[in-house]
Amino acid sequence: MTGALDGIRVLDLSRVLAGPWATQILGDLGAEVIKVERPGKGDDTRGWGPPSTEIEGQSFSAYYLVCNRNKQSIAIDISNPEGAALVRQLAAESDVLVENFKTGGLARYGLDYDSLRAVNPRLVYCSVTGFGQTGPYAQRGGYDFLIQGMGGLMSVTGETAAAPVKVGVPVIDLFTGLYATIAIQAALRHRDQTGEGQHIDCALLDTSVAILANQGMNWLIGGVTPSPMGNAHPNVVPYRTFAASDGHLIVAVGNDGQFAALCRVLGREDLGANPDYLTNECRNRNRATLEPELEREIAARTSADLLAAMEAEGVPGGPINRVNEVFADPQVQARGMVAPVAMGGAETPQIRFPPVLSKAPATIRRAPPALGADGVEVLQGMGLSDAEMRRLAKAGAVHLPAAK
């Protein structure tokens, strides 16, 4: 079964996470992805361990494994003129190129958008940078942690403003990868209609501003600068963690009917009938008196008993799972979120593409590649002879895997 993007070739010049996350998604959806890496070390994340796994004499970090499946790897030195020429030839035969060099960094090699548009006007060229192609910060390097701070996310994360906290996974990189994927598919649709490619300018800071979502709009509409609220919600009450007798759980009441049901579960129908708490607006305004009442009632019950009673009454809630508990969860297992992939005679677990498509499902067809492992295959597909490949390897333009 072929994916929805079967027939699309993606040239991946990106490293670390945001770009590789986007190209992996495209690969999961059926695209052919050719990952161009630096000879010697390759993608920075290959060495971002432990944890790492050793396969056929090469180390693969968990970080690298999470965002590089469904790709071929070729090791090309783009600072070598013949290496840059190889990449230009690949770009001429590709539908999409994704890169995350500093703004303007690829122009010196003739691999910038304007140069490649001249050889392939249909090319969709996606640049992922910290701050974008324009503006006073355009030449700065950007990293997820830095942008979480600059983009406001850390200012609303954690318990208090005195101790800013980043999110526990690199969400700015991941969201930027998702936005890049959406934009690339839109650009391909535009190309289908017009025959013309385009340049996509993705910035981590832009992403961070966009995902402020309700917090950003709270400021734009309400004029109040949001502050960290721990596990509480700025707009919805009760929507936070509570301490049961044996540990913490989440109560996520999203409407007035669910609040009335929670009050029944707790045996506190009086709270549900209290005019101060009848609507979410009232509860938000009076959370200082409501939440201590809920805390006392919840603290007297075990997590399991309370969650079971809440489920029976249709009140959203759940445990706070550690990562090992997530993968042991029966719902996660029933959904098949972990898929093994053959890799060097063994199996390596992969976390599957989340959406389930009924007609053109995402698939895992290739394990994350060893550095340069597919160089011969890629160059043969370009029509190069064995003699020409050996010449380019000798010239340092490309590093090919040793013959087995």
Which residue numbers are catalytic? Answer: 173
**SS3 letters for the chain?**
CCCCCCCCEEEEECCCCHHHHHHHHHHHCCCEEEEEECCCCCCHHHHCCCCEEEECCEEEEHHHHCCCCCCEEEEECCCCHHHHHHHHHHHHCCCEEEECCCCCCCHHHCCCHHHHHHHCCCCEEEEEECCCCCCCCCCCCCCHHHHHHHCCHHHHCCCCCCCCCCCCCCHHHHHHHHHHHHHHHHHHHHHHHHCCCEEEEEEHHHHHHHCCHHHHHHHHHHCCCCCCCCCCCCCCCCEEEEEECCEEEEEECCCHHHHHHHHHHCCCHHHHHCHHHCCHHHHHHCHHHHHHHHHHHHHCCCHHHHHHHHHHHCCCEEECCCHHHHHHCHHHHHCCCEEEEEECCEEEEEECCCCCCCCCCCCCCCCCCCCCCCHHHHHHHCCCCHHHHHHHHHCCCEECCCCC
72 beta partners: 34
